[in-house]
Each structure stands twice: as C-alpha cells, then as structure tokens.
Amino acid sequence: MKLDLIVAEIGSTTTVVNGFTGLNSPNPTLVGQGQGPTTVEQGDVTRGLEMALEDLADNINVSSVDYNEMLATSSAAGGLKMTVHGLVYEMTARAAKEAALGAGAVIKDITSGKLSQRDVKNIKEINPNIILLAGGVDFGEEETTLQNAYTLSKVPIDIPFIYGGNKKLTEEIVEIFEKEGKTIKPIENVYPAIDELNIEPARKVIQEIFEQHITKGPGMSSIRQMVNSKIVPTPGAVMMGAKALYEEIGDLMVVDVGGATTDVHSVTEGSEELSRFRISPEPLAKRTVEGDLGVYVNSQNIVNMIGQEKISEITNIDKEKLRENILPIPKTAEQKKISLALTEKAVDVAVKRHVGKLKTLYGPSGRYKVVEGKDLTQVKWIIGTGGALTRLGNGKQTLEKAKINIKGDLLLPKEGATPLLDNHYNLGVLGIMSAKYPKESIQLMKKSLEL
C-alpha cells in the first residue's frame, strides 16, 4: 500500500510510526499506527523502524507499506541534554531556560552569576550536548558574562556552544572560544531589555543542533537520509502542535503524562487585566518538565506523595502489592486502578508547578498585588496526551480536576475550560507535520480531539 506520509517517533525505548493518506485533499486521514522497539542497543535504530512499519502493515491488513515521504521526531540517544548559564536567574538565566525547554531539551543544570569550580565540575559530569551562555541586557553588564565565557571555553568537552547574551560582547566572546579551538554560535539576546523575552531564535538554533547530535546515534544517519525534513526533539514537536492549534482554537494547555516525566505546555498571553501586576515576563508558549513525575520509571515518587496507605485505600489493593502492579502498560483492572491514581496525582502536581500565582504583598504604600509566573486564567482548552491520559480511561475527569483552585491564589484555568483528549495520541506527530501541511495537521488534530 502506498501512503502519502509516514511520521516516525523514535523514542528511547519504542519507535512508533503513523501513516497518512489524503494529504492535499479535503479529507486527510490517519490510516493507522505501528510500533517496534527502538534498537539502539542492536547498533542500528533503522531495524526498530522497519519493525514498526511491519507492525503498521499488519494493523491495516496489507502485506507491506510504501510512502512518498517521511518525517521524524526523536528522543533517542538520551534526548537533548543542555546546561544554561546566565547573569541573573530571574532574567537571562530564566529566559535561556525557557528557550531550551521550548525547543524540547532536557535541562540538566541552570546557573546564574559567575561560574564556580563546582559548577564546572558539574558540567563535566553532566556532559551536555549543548551549552547555552546568556547574560546581560544589550549594552548592559559585561564582566560576569565575559568571565563565564573564559571559564566555559576552557572546559575540556567538545560540544556546540550558543551565545545569546549582551550583543555588545558577541564579537569578543566568539574570539574567546576560537582561541581555545572551540566554536560558539551567536544568536540574538534571549533577554535584550528589561521585561522582554526573545526566545524563538534560540529555540530554532537548539533544534538545528539537536538534529546534528541525533544523527550520531547508531543508525540515525540512515534515518536522516530517509526523512524529508529536520528531525525534531519529540517534546519540541508537541510544542509545535500546541502552537499550531492555538492559532486555530485559542488559548490552551497540554498535559503529557509519561512513564518517566510529566510535561506541561501552555500557549496563552494570560489575562489583560492581570498583566499589569506581572513582576517578570512570561513567554507566550511555555513548557515545564517534571522529571520526578513519571507513572512508571518514577512511580515511587508519586506513591510517596500520595502515601501508600492512601493509594491502597483508593485502589482497594494491599499496599504490599502496589509495586508489583505498577507496569509500563497496565493490563489488569488492579494495574489500571493504580496507574489512574498515579496519573491523577502527576497531573495535579505538574499543573500546579507550571501555573503562576496571584500574591498580595505589603509595602510602604500599603497592600498591593503581583502576578508571579504563568497566568492560565484565559485557557479555554485543557488537552491530555500521552498513554496514561489517552489509554487508561477517565482522562477527561482527571483533566477536569486540574481546574480545582482550593486556596484561590493559583492562576489556573477557569471553570469553563474544556478538557479534551488526544485520542490518536499524535499531537507531536501532527506538530511536526504542521510546518509543511498546516491545514491538514489542524484537521487531523481536531479529529483526534473530537472537535
């Protein structure tokens, strides 16, 4: 069977392929999905891709599948590890972090101020794929950023560096790295002026470097030759999908509960009324990653948050048998009960870590309000993706609880926000499609969300 397009998601353990027909027509269609193991350990990930394509053929009852083009996302080869280093955490360091997370990176370290020897030791141990150096508004402070450039240029690791700080220092910083035999990619300042974020140029460059890095994985160079576009980090593809959908349906939040992490993406400007109380800028599109909230790899963290006694009471399962009933793909009713309880807690904690707060402070002139963090009060749609929310059942009810604001100080979505499920579990797939097939990807997203 000849398909118009295959989109492959090459994960750390599983490779999933999605087959599409009807592109450039009024009725684009997801024909089916197939999966296979990601075969990094066998020395060639293309074998896992072949197995996923064979599984797709079986699922749609054909002998084999052919296709006109292929796109791909990947979190294989350990994903994209980054460290980011800025001047003041609440300014340039946070701006650099937002850029990296939005591009789909895994942030392993964030520093502000001058780098210490302990910081350098930590960078060596992390062995990141990219280091992003920022610091200072344009034509602002210079000393700290220059010192950090000297320090980083001497770290004995051969990786790409990016500079997104005070533009007055760009030429000098490039020279510092070149003298040490290293290259650094200068980009626009991620924080060019007070209360101004400029993170899109950094996101673009980070994704370009990711593609170069990912092709170093076993067999990935072959896949790069097979695909018709850039290989995008899977979380970055989800963000692309969320941004494309925002343009169509308005302010939204995406919650992605996985086995190892829970990611929250939001695309919203927030309330115009509350904007005057902001104490620092927030990006339109924001991603947070909770590395301790996975419903399988990090399930024990969530069990500890809920309490063994409580989760045993919720699920009617003896607390001594909880561990043996937590599986990556739950099958029995008992296993699903536990996974649902873990998922509900993961959503609750991850959303509350993502959202901002309305605080009341007291100063010389009396009481005043400030908004700290991301304002979600204008979010109209709360979208659940990932296996835990889309495959276990009860996903919409779990998302509904994300609006509960017991203390009243959290800037959560309002009661009228509508929960939706990514029933086809392909928001990231459609995100990478949106660059080339914007209309078709939106149609397919709406089908998956039942809009």
Domain coordinates in residue numbering, the chain: 2-77+216-226, 81-212, 232-291+353-449
Residue 119: helix, strand or coil by DSSP?
helix
User: Is the whole-model pTM more than 0.85?
Assistant: yes
Least confident among 34-48, 61-75, 280-294 = 34-48
CATH topology of 2-77+216-226 equal to that of 81-212? no
Is the predicted pLDDT of residue 362 greater than 70, yes or no?
A: yes
Rounded CA gap, 230 and 161, in Å? 20
Helices (H) and strands (E) in the chain, counts: 16, 17
Please give the mean pLDDT across all residues of the chain.
90
Pick the CATH number of 2-77+216-226 from 3.40.1450.10, 3.40.50.2300, 3.50.30.20, 3.30.420.40: 3.30.420.40
Residue 166 near residue 139 (C-beta atoms within 8 A): yes
Is the predicted pLDDT of residue 78 greater than 60, yes or no?
A: no
Is the predicted pLDDT of residue 178 greater than 70, yes or no?
A: yes
Is the predicted pLDDT of residue 79 greater than 80, yes or no?
A: no
Is the predicted pLDDT of residue 101 greater than 60, yes or no?
A: yes
Is the predicted pLDDT of residue 245 greater than 70, yes or no?
A: yes
Residue 31: helix, strand or coil by DSSP?
strand
Residue 6 near residue 226 (C-beta atoms within 8 A): no
Domain 81-212, CATH: 3.40.50.360
* Band (17; pLDDT cuts 50, 70, 90): very high
